[in-house]
Amino acid sequence: MLTHASENVGTIQPVFGSRYMVSPIPRFELPEEMMSKDAAYQIVHDELLLDGNPRLNLASFVCTWMEPECEKLILEALSKNFIDFDEYPATHDIQDRCVNMIARLFHAPLAQNEQAVGTSTVGSSEAIMLAGLAMKRKWQQKMRQAGKPYDKPNMVAGSNVQVCWEKFARYFEVELRQVNLRDGCYVMDPEEAVKLVDENTILVCAILGSTYTGEFEDVKLLNQLLLENNQKTGWDTPIHVDAASGGFIAPFLYPELEWDFRLPLVRSINVSGHKYGLVYAGVGWVIWRSKAELPEELIFHINYLGAIQPTFTLNFSRGRCSSCYNNLIG
């Protein structure tokens, strides 16, 4: 049983029998009286026992075990204010190196010392918001330059898309055109997808690892059909690959499968670290094919904590955009 030392030297008072625990504490208000930190710890600790056991939870799409060395590193870095790039440059170098490793794993067309373009995010959901926003902005720029209307963007995906795409569509005012699934075909049919594309299509989303079945969509065929369509129409409809769960599987189990930046129309890819990347919930990545795919106007150059810091994230509390610094990796 947890115990704590009382103010009277020489006595030990068990928490469960202490005066801190004899009267109820308010659930929704700050208590009038103080309590010892070990009593407070015990109360919260015990309440959390009502949660499920993560190791027994095989249904939440996220890793529930990490190597002990990783846990050690997380604890060692917990007190760092991640956003302060100048104070914690090593943390950011490591992030940028991860972006570079993932971009190369996904065959981004990079020269040997060229910096990849991407950022860590809060899961694939934030990654998808950023990738969709970049594609929407690129499309708007193109339409504006051509003197055409740019107020009715749409995107195409199978109706098996994860709900975060519906969120993207609603928050960023993009019409979501869905390819219906049919008996025996539970992923997006690329031929049906191309039929829904028009000049206002900012992206077609292909899923590598459908949320419901794990099945990979045929990105290669979609790329081929869209190339033909683009050639015929003069449009430049790009592909975003939602590789939330497949991005850390396909390169290792199916290295010959062409689904990534080997295909010219694949302009951005998201992947969740916490699905098959062997890390706890909270990290995702978005990678762009090249700098040209990320409109400069979306990058914020903030003078936040003493130096100019370029970021492209939905919040200012974490992450930055690798390559925004324009430096080459050594």
Ligand X SMILES: Cc1ncc(COP(=O)(O)O)c(C=O)c1O
Burial of 37 (0-12, 13-18, 19+ CB in 10 A): exposed
Among 245, 268, 311, 323, interactor with ligand X by CB under 6 A:
245
Alpha carbon distance 264, 4 (integer Å):
64
164 or 169, CB closer to ligand X? Answer: 164
- For the bound state, the minimum distance from the C-beta of residue 284 to ligand X, rounded and expressed in Å, comes to 5
Contact segment (CB under 6 A) with ligand X among 13-21, 35-43, 178-186, 237-245 equals 237-245
Q: Is 211 a residue that touches ligand X (CB under 6 A)?
A: yes
Angle at Cα 176 formed by Cα 174 and Cα 179, nearest 5°? Answer: 160
What is the enclosing helix (H) or strand (E) of 142?
helix 123-145
What is the enclosing helix (H) or strand (E) of 276?
helix 273-276
Which residues, numbered 255-284, are part of the site for ligand X (CB under 6 A)? 272, 284
Kindly report the number of other CB atoms within 10 A of residue 319's CB atom: 27
Among 164, 206, 241, 324, interactor with ligand X by CB under 6 A:
164
143 or 241, CB closer to ligand X? Answer: 241
Q: Is 319 left (phi over 0), alpha (psi -120 to 50) or beta?
A: left
> What would the x/- binding string for ligand X be over residues 62 to 101, using CB under 6 A?
----------------------------------------
Which residues, numbered 97-156, are part of the site for ligand X (CB under 6 A)? 123-125
Residue 193 near residue 238 (C-beta atoms within 8 A): no
The 8-class DSSP code of residue 216 comes to B
Torsion sign across C-alpha atoms 104, 110, 114, 115: negative
Q: Is 162 a residue that touches ligand X (CB under 6 A)?
A: yes
110 or 217, CB closer to ligand X? Answer: 217
Residue at shortest CB range from ligand X? 123
Q: Which contacts qualify for 65-70: CB closer than 8 Å, 24 or more apart?
A: 66/278, 66/279, 66/280, 67/278, 70/279
Q: Is 242 a residue that touches ligand X (CB under 6 A)?
A: yes
- For the bound state, the minimum distance from the C-beta of residue 211 to ligand X, rounded and expressed in Å, comes to 4
> What would the x/- binding string for ligand X be over residues 11 to 50, using CB under 6 A?
----------------------------------------
- Chain contacts with ligand X (rule: CB under 6 A): 61, 123-125, 162, 164, 207, 209, 211, 242, 244-245, 272, 284
